[in-house]
Structure 1
Amino acid sequence: MTRLAEIQAHLDSIGELRNIIGAMRSLAGMRLQETQHSLPAVRRYAEAVAAALASTLPLMREPMTERALESAPRAVILCFSEHGFVGGFNERLADAAERALSPQDLLFVLGTRGATLLAGRGRRIAWSRPMATRVAGAPETVRRVTSELYMRIARGEISRVEAMFARRLEGGAPTIEQRLLLPLDLTLLAAKQPRYPPLHNLNPIRLHEMLMAEHVFALLSEAAVESMASENAARFAAMGSAHDNVSKKLDQLRQAEREARQNEITTELLDLITGASAQGQGQGEEIDRR
């Protein structure tokens, strides 16, 4: 195969790669818009549940405090990406978790990539599950992790539950947020507490427990959607950089193709000239012999 043919074959394969990268970037952009569109509603839902939970505090004689299961370890829920091509998204979260975790913490990992990453770093994982890739899949993922949490809390294995996830900031780099889920942040809820206790038909303790479970579900749902938004923003940026790099490579190959084609043309012309010169010289020698 000539150099020109090799370059043209390389051009075709790189062009296909750029098309694939462009499609992945478009998909990441659509998923990012989807999560951004859903986030305001998810946040309002979490705020509404927090306000409802705060209204039950006056009904409780002894609200849950941080001393309830003081001897049990802490559970930390980490929200990683399920798929790749996200740049340093997972590494940043893993690094932040390494700084915040203690050896006895129980790790609940959402995201296959994160579970693999932490296992490679020698971290023991108590529970893991694939991370939702669409907003519609977030509730089921959150239900599974909360079911596991409540089962372990009932057995006295966990004293405190926190979540760590990436939050995307408009016009800035994403930040890693650490959020307390259980026990309740009474200081934060007290600010939302109404002046008078609400009218209710359910048993106050039962009502409080139901709203507390809904509060944890709402906070975790918000964390999952925030993580998905940040993940897709990271993938969109990574695919944008890859698209630019491949485009530059294509420009270089096109320039090399033009040079190779010109070299072939020049070589063909030289061959023609050399052949014609040799033929003319041969005819001259034949005439001399005659």
Structure 2
Amino acid sequence: MHKERAAHAKVELIVVGQRGGPVMTACGLTPLRIERGPTSLAGLKEAVKGLANYIDREYTSGKVAAVDLVYTRYQSISECVPTIMRLLPIEPAILPAVPPEMQFQTYLSDSQLIAGLVSQYAYISFFQAAAESYACEQASRLIAMDGATRNTSRIVDDLLNSERRERQHEITGQMLEMIASRVNLVEE
């Protein structure tokens, strides 16, 4: 059923973060929604919860055939990798195999259980992606601040060297004046 809908579905883009909207628009993509990016880890949890609930409602109602998540994956302090992940529908290949002899006792119907698990999977996947993107943002800021600190140190060193040269020039000028006046006194 999802494959049939996906064949005829249009792509709708939800962007998290204020800078992403103009970038996507410049690329010819118009976001359906632009969500504010979290500025703290507490804000990250709330943003993810709202987005996961929205996607869960849209997916379970059949309005959305598939959900692809695009985010920056944290690789190292200096490297963040753009990553695309198919979130929904869940590919059976990623599910662990359950031995046939295992019996599970549930209090929910199969459809309720699957809907709950899919909802939790979406929330956890969004949270992981958001946390990695947040780590990338903080790493970028750290690198920028480190570069600014180094640049400031270089400028301070240049100013101190310039001040030393200027002071040395003054001292040399004063010394030459004293020597010249001494020579004039001796000659007279």
Task: Using structure 2 for the length normalisation, give the TM-score.
Answer: 0.82
Matched-pair contact (CA < 8 Å) for 1:72–1:158: no
Q: 1:235 pairs with 136, 141, 145, which one?
A: 141
Structure-1 residue corresponding to 2:98: 193
Find the aligned partners of 2:77 and 2:24 in 1 and give their Cα distance.
Answer: 29
Structure-1 residue corresponding to 2:18: 112
SS of residue matched to 1:70: helix
Give the superposition deviation at 1:231: 1.9
Structure-2 residue corresponding to 1:204: 110
Find the aligned partners of 2:110 and 2:85 in 1 and give their Cα distance.
Answer: 26
Structure-2 residue corresponding to 1:250: 156
Change (3 A) 1:154 1:212: closer
Structure-1 residue corresponding to 2:131: 225
Change (3 A) 1:118 1:268: farther
Kindly report which structure 2 residues correspond to 1:89-108, keeping only aligned pairs within 5 A, or say none: 104-108=10-14
SS of residue matched to 2:37: coil
Change (3 A) 1:171 1:143: closer
Find the aligned partners of 2:18 and 2:76 in 1 and give their Cα distance.
Answer: 27
Q: Deviations over 1:76-101 (max 9, x none)?
A: xxxxxxxxxxxxxxxxxxxxxxxxxx
Structure-2 residue corresponding to 1:69: 5
Find the aligned partners of 1:194 and 1:255 in 2 and give their Cα distance.
Answer: 75
Matched-pair contact (CA < 8 Å) for 1:72–1:156: no
Give the superposition deviation at 1:255: 0.9
- The residue identity in structure 2 corresponding to 1:69 is R
Find the aligned partners of 2:70 and 2:22 in 1 and give their Cα distance.
Answer: 17
Find the aligned partners of 1:121 and 1:268 in 2 and give their Cα distance.
Answer: 65
Give the superposition deviation at 1:197: 4.1
Structure-2 residue corresponding to 1:158: 64
Structure-1 residue corresponding to 2:84: 178
- The residue identity in structure 1 corresponding to 2:133 is S
Give the superposition deviation at 1:221: 0.5
Find the aligned partners of 1:137 and 1:192 in 2 and give their Cα distance.
Answer: 36
Unaligned residue ranges in structure 1 (runs of 5+):
1-64, 74-103, 285-290
Find the aligned partners of 1:234 and 1:66 in 2 and give their Cα distance.
Answer: 38
Structure-2 residue corresponding to 1:81: none
Q: CA RMSD in A?
A: 2.9
SS of residue matched to 1:169: strand
Find the aligned partners of 1:129 and 1:180 in 2 and give their Cα distance.
Answer: 20
SS of residue matched to 1:69: helix
Give the superposition deviation at 1:72: 4.7
Find the aligned partners of 1:155 and 1:203 in 2 and give their Cα distance.
Answer: 18
Give the superposition deviation at 1:156: 4.5
Equivalent residue pairs, number: 186
Unaligned residue ranges in structure 2 (runs of 5+):
none
Matched-pair contact (CA < 8 Å) for 1:72–1:157: no
Q: Which has the higher contact order (CA 8 A, sep 6+)?
A: 1
Change (3 A) 1:138 1:118: same
Structure with the bigger percentage of helix: 1
SS of residue matched to 2:6: coil
Find the aligned partners of 1:118 and 1:260 in 2 and give their Cα distance.
Answer: 52
SS of residue matched to 1:125: coil
Give the superposition deviation at 1:258: 0.5
Structure-2 residue corresponding to 1:147: 53
Structure-2 residue corresponding to 1:126: 32
Find the aligned partners of 2:94 and 2:16 in 1 and give their Cα distance.
Answer: 27
- The residue identity in structure 2 corresponding to 1:246 is T
